[in-house]
């Protein structure tokens, strides 16, 4: 019987040739090139002709287009093989548009890819153990690809989502001697009827509590990603990274948060191609754009948007790659005390506009207009447009683009753009508060982070301070914690304590399963969460993450016992906070006495890295700790690593003697 796996039974397959005529024409070589150029440059042209490029046009300047493209689309857009997520599903179209523009202008474009995973897809799974570590790996791959094309004159980076986009930004930032430009992959659209991509990730928890039917869950889950491409509709890590990339001057003005697949989105790629040619012509390199002043502007814009707390990690990593001082927690706190949040977007509210609506309201340049009027920006910085920030804002303020898109938001959605992006005065009148706070205390002696602006206002006291005292409910894995929520074992007033989920325990996984469930369950606003893990950018509520030191590094958070009383105080006005163990229900103590008790307590016997933690992530955790840990951007500081290894080898030799 014929075996279709071993043989397709197609006789035409056996017509195999060993030779081909080869490309027509000749390479535009010169005697000087043959005498002086490396053989790799010459053979590169041979390969270019072999791939079909017109040999006569090989003398154009070469530009590399890197992207996180994933999946395989038919010409009409239908899937042949799915990507990991919508964020990279359509970015190949951006690469194509930019490449066609470069080719039309006489340049020679190259394209390379390193696809990225989806944090939404890996929530609550062991896939999350590779998430943050992947960012470092991808940045390394991108940098290696850039160096592996020695003839490139500049680099265009196209990326969209939570880890691929920060990785691309790190790679471009580290390519300081070349002109580079970032093309953000944009956002997906809201469904005309249904739930956004953040809320829909809670259908399991809501079904378990009887808040949604099976039929409603199935329908909502089907519709939430209403268009095939782009990052999620909320101001999570993907959207915040797009915003920060533009604020740094790495992207063209009004490029972040564009609707994927739209003509205005493709036009951005074409204009970015023109921009990279102009940057190369004028000798403007990445190091001329990424400066300490540009970094300052990024922190300011992040605060004004109310962005994801994950950018505390990523922006430090981008600064490190650019050889700039890394922002510290004190820098973030200082900026957030100075800068009001003026954007009303998902998930922060109060009206929860989608990111595409923020784009139509004016996006990053509109926010920057308000910040410039307030004297908060450094406008002399250069941007990839070839203009200073001040010059681009002057253009934006009187542009037809601004007027037409803001009017489109009014006409299409009935939304006043000034209700999406507000003046500081209007934002204050509507109750918007500054973005992030960095609580310390006897449970977080080295600090922690909370998006204080996203605490439900109904549980905040009239003086703007969130105060909570509650019993600790301690878990060492996220699945155990979410199971307790679904079984109804977590009650209003409880303080969830999730430990062993920092870099050493789980690769510093995201815990959006928990934070989203608490947000969308009726009693969730009355439950707080403490963890040495991190949060999805769409997380909200009284959720304190990045607690340092982590439990497995000897942090006092690893000594908390079931039922211990935890006191949380978050001042949303002064952006100050504390998180302390204060004894038990039977015997309350001061934070100072609590610190003494914790110091004398033994560690919990169940502290351990996750048994499924991959070796690659264990290695990443060890190396990033040497480089400064989460507060330092989870980067590999090569000099420090080498120095530490040398010291370790010396100690080992002494021990052998």
| Interatomic CA distance for residues 13 and 429, integer angstroms | 73
| Interatomic CA distance for residues 129 and 290, integer angstroms | 31
Looking at residue 55, the DSSP 8-state letter turns out to be: G
600: Cβ contacts below 8 Å, ≥ 6 apart: none
3-state secondary structure of 585: coil
Pair 624, 316: CB distance under 8 Å: no
Vertex 308, ends 221 and 287: CA angle to 5°?
125
Which residue from 452, 425, 420 is spatially nearest to 350, judged by alpha carbons? 420
- Annotated catalytic residue 536: yes
Write out the DSSP string of 301-365.
Answer: HHHHHT--TTHHHHHHHHHHHTT-PPPPHHHHHHHHHH----B-BTTT-SS-B-HHHHHHTTHHH
Which residue from 471, 538, 460 is spatially nearest to 202, judged by alpha carbons? 538
3-state secondary structure of 548: strand
Pair 455, 437: CB distance under 8 Å: no
Give whole-number Cα distances, 601 to 55, 585, 598, 626, in Å: 74, 18, 5, 27
Whether the ω angle into residue 41 lies within 30 degrees of 0, i.e. cis, is: no
164-174 and 237-247 helices, crossing angle to 10°? 20
**Tokens 């050889």 belong to residue:** 323
| Interatomic CA distance for residues 306 and 452, integer angstroms | 10
First-residue to last-residue Cα distance in the chain: 70
Q: Residue 529 burial (CB < 10 Å; 0-12/13-18/19+)?
A: buried
Tokens found for residue 33: 């090139």
Give whole-number Cα distances, 499 to 74, 551, 654, in Å: 45, 6, 36
653: Cβ contacts below 8 Å, ≥ 6 apart: none
Vertex 165, ends 162 and 167: CA angle to 5°?
105
Catalytic residue among 536, 539, 548, 578: 536
Which residue from 92, 91, 165 is spatially nearest to 135, judged by alpha carbons? 165
Q: Which residues are catalytic?
A: 536
């Amino acid at each position: 019987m014929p075996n279709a796996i071993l043989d397709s039974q197609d006789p035409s397959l056996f017509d195999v040739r060993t030779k081909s005529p080869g490309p027509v024409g000749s390479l535009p070589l010169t005697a000087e090139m043959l005498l002086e150029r490396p053989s790799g440059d010459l053979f590169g042209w041979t390969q270019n002709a072999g791939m079909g490029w017109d040999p006569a046009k090989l003398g154009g300047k070469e530009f590399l287009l890197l992207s996180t493209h994933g999946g395989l689309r038919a010409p009409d857009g239908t899937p042949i093989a799915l990507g990991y997520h919508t964020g990279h599903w359509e970015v190949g179209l951006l690469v194509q548009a930019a490449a066609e523009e470069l080719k039309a202008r006489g340049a020679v474009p190259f394209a390379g890819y390193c696809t990225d995973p989806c944090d939404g897809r890996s929530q609550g799974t062991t896939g999350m153990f590779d998430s943050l570590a992947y960012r470092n790996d991808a940045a390394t791959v991108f940098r290696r690809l850039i160096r592996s094309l020695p003839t490139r004159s500049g680099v265009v980076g196209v990326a969209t989502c939570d880890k691929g986009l920060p990785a691309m930004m790190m790679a471009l930032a580290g390519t300081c001697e070349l002109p580079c430009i970032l093309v953000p992959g944009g956002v997906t659209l809201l469904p005309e009827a249904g739930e956004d991509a953040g809320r829909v990730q809670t259908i399991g928890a809501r079904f378990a509590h009887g808040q949604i039917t099976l039929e409603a869950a199935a329908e909502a889950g089907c519709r939430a990603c209403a268009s095939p491409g782009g990052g999620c509709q909320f101001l999570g890590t993907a959207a915040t990274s797009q915003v920060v990339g533009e604020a740094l001057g790495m992207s063209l003005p009004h490029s972040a948060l564009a609707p994927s697949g739209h003509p205005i989105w493709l036009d951005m790629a074409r204009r970015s191609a023109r921009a990279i040619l102009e940057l190369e012509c004028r000798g403007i390199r990445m190091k001329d754009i990424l400066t300490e002043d540009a970094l300052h502007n990024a922190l300011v814009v992040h605060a004004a948007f109310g962005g994801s707390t994950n950018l505390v990690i990523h922006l430090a990593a981008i600064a490190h790659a650019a050889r700039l001082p890394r922002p510290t927690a004190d820098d973030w706190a200082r900026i957030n005390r100075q800068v009001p949040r003026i954007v009303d977007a998902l998930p922060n509210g109060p009206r929860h506009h989608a990111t595409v609506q923020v784009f139509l309201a004016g996006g990053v340049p509109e926010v920057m207009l308000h910040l410039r009027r307030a004297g908060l920006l450094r406008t002399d910085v250069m941007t990839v447009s070839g203009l200073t920030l001040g010059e681009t804002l002057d253009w934006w303020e009187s542009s037809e683009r601004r007027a037409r898109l803001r009017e489109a938001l009014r006409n299409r959605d009935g939304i006043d753009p000034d209700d999406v992006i507000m003046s500081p005065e209007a934002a204050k009148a509507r109750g918007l508060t500054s973005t992030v706070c960095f609580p310390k205390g006897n449970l977080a002696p080295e600090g922690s982070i909370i998006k204080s602006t996203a605490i439900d206002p109904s549980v905040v006291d009239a003086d703007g301070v969130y105060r909570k005292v509650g019993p600790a409910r301690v878990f060492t894995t996220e699945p155990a914690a979410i199971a307790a929520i679904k079984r109804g074992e977590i009650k209003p007033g409880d303080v969830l304590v999730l430990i062993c989920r920092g870099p050493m325990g789980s690769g510093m996984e995201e815990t959006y399963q928990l934070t989203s469930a608490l947000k969308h369950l009726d009693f969730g606003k009355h439950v707080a969460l403490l963890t040495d893990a991190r949060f999805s950018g769409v997380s909200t509520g009284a959720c304190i993450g990045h607690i340092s030191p982590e439990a497995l590094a000897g942090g006092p958070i690893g000594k908390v016992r079931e039922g211990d009383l935890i006191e949380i105080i978050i001042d949303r006005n002064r952006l100050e906070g504390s998180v302390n163990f204060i004894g038990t229900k039977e015997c309350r103590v001061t934070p100072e006495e609590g610190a003494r008790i914790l110091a004398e307590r033994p560690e919990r016997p169940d502290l351990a890295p996750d048994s499924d933690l991959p070796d690659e992530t264990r290695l990443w955790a060890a190396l990033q700790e040497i480089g400064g840990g989460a507060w330092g951007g989870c980067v590999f500081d090569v000099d420090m690593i080498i120095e530490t290894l040398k010291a370790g080898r010396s100690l080992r030799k002494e021990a052998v003697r």
